[in-house]
Amino acid sequence: MSDTLHEFSRALADTVEAGGRYTVRVEARRRLPASGVIWSPDGVIVTAHHVVEWDSNITVGLPPDGRPVPARLVGRDPATDLAVLRADASGLEAAPHAGDGDLRVGHLVLSLGRPGRTVQATLGIVSALGQAWRTMGGGEIDRYLQTDTAMYPGFSGGPLVDAAGRMLGINSSALLRGISLTVPVATVGRLVDTLLAHGRVPRGHLGVKVQPVRLPTAVAERIGQETGVLVLSVESQSPADRGGLLLGDTIVALDGQPVRDIDDLMALLGGDRVGASVPVRVLRGGEVRDLTVTIGERG
């Protein structure tokens, strides 16, 4: 029994050592430094958006001993809590990526961080897996991945690794407060490509605050859906304001697609619709009306 525990312990230490070779320290805020991951050998670093408070004078501490090098912000996406930096370094060891096709609830995982000079680690299990989901900010996450690994201060932006030391994703303590969530590798890769190309992730903007509501029975039967989203406020000079949307309207469709709840609306405000003039169907005073709104870009 003691031999088995010894082998298990040594295997865990080997996994942490492997993951530590691509886990970096990120100094981009006034408080405790955070962590990041070497995405490519030419110095591309991925970390959490919420730990990057500065747009300049950023420092990255490289493995194995936290050697500091300057870095610059390439771009960020608050909706998925991801940011991309480029460190003044090359020939780095990039994180190997693990596919999550075989990942199951109960699998052992490690969260790594480097808020100091050396790598730190916590052990846990995958506590929940789910389908693709959308964050409160409208970010599209390819898979819901929750663990019970402890997220100590400075761990945000660091990797979640499997038993072989391969990265499963980027850890975040900001997507859902009190829950250790991981942005999976598939999502990270897609957003890194976008941020490297454009410096931002374009998303559509209407300029309204809404809440889901149930439609009157007669209207629901007529349009074939039971719910819509009630407009609680309209920003002055916003796309919604210029398009004629009013406080009290209920949005039931956008660009020919039904809007039953807030998730539907957010899903239809993708970057591909920025600048496009689209029809918006609303319920106003018990009557269905069709408006045209030119979708803006969220700042």
Catalytic-residue membership of 198: no
CATH level 3 topology of 1-201: Thrombin, subunit H (2.40.10)
Higher per-residue confidence, 298 vs 174: 174
Distance CA 25, CA 155 (A): 9
- Maximum pairwise Cα distance, the chain: 75
In this prediction, residues 236-259 reach a mean pLDDT of 96
What does the domain layout of the chain look like in residue ranges? 1-201, 204-297
pLDDT computed for residue 129 by the predictor = 96
- Supply the pLDDT for residue 299: 66
Task: Report the pLDDT value the prediction gives residue 1, as an integer from 0 to 100.
Answer: 61
| Size of the chain, expressed as the number of residues it contains | 299
> Tens digits of per-residue pLDDT, 52-109?
999 999 999 999 999 999 999 999 999 899 999 999 999 999 999 998 778 999 999 9
For domain 204-297, give the CATH number. Answer: 2.30.42.10
* Whole-angstrom distance, CA of residue 207 vs CA of residue 214: 22
81 is catalytic: yes
Q: What does DSSP say about strands 133-134 and 108-113: parallel, antiparallel, or unpaired?
A: unpaired
Question: Would you call 50 a catalytic residue per the annotation?
Answer: yes
Tokens found for residue 9: 């312990």
Average pLDDT over the chain, rounded to whole? 94
Amino acid at site 204: G
CA distances (Å), origin 285, targets 163, 215, 288: 59, 12, 8
Sign of CA dihedral 24, 61, 47, 185: negative
Which of 81, 100, 162, 264 is labelled catalytic? 81
Per the residue annotation, which of 35, 49, 50, 77 is the catalytic one? 50
Identified catalytic residue from 156, 172, 173, 180: 156
In the predicted structure, residue 2 carries a pLDDT above the cut 80: no
Q: What is the pLDDT of residue 154?
A: 96
